[in-house]
Amino acid sequence: MFLIECPWCGPRDESEFDCGGEAHIERPADPAELSDEAWADYLFMRTNPKGRHRERWVHACGCRRWFNIERDTVSHRITAVYRMGRKPPGRR
């Protein structure tokens, strides 16, 4: 159980949130041009790092907004919270 800093509501308990999986997966511009393998990779394959991971979360029991967090999958330490559409802090 950890505290997540919702960008709108402030710090709230993890139980108020749902995780939406890995962040920053962009839909290919022209899916019809992709091979089945590349399309399957976009649809199903996700990284599973030990360490820093960027994820989408939604404040399901609060303001119901989506946002991104950067979390260490080992220590659960959250190193950044940033809104949808923004780049992860410290990276271009």
* By the rule CB under 8 A, 65 interacts with other proteins: yes
Q: Which among 70, 67, 68, 69 is positioned nearest to 51, based on CA atoms? A: 70
Residues 24-43 that bind other proteins (CB under 8 A): none
- Minimum gap (Å) between residue 14 Cβ and other proteins: 8
CB neighbour burial string for 49-71, b if at least 16 within 10 angstroms, e if fewer: eeeebbbbbbbeeeeeeebbbbb
* By the rule CB under 8 A, 12 interacts with other proteins: yes
By CB under 8 A, the count of residues binding other proteins is: 13
Range in contact with other proteins (rule: CB under 8 A) among 12-20, 22-30, 50-58, 68-76: 12-20
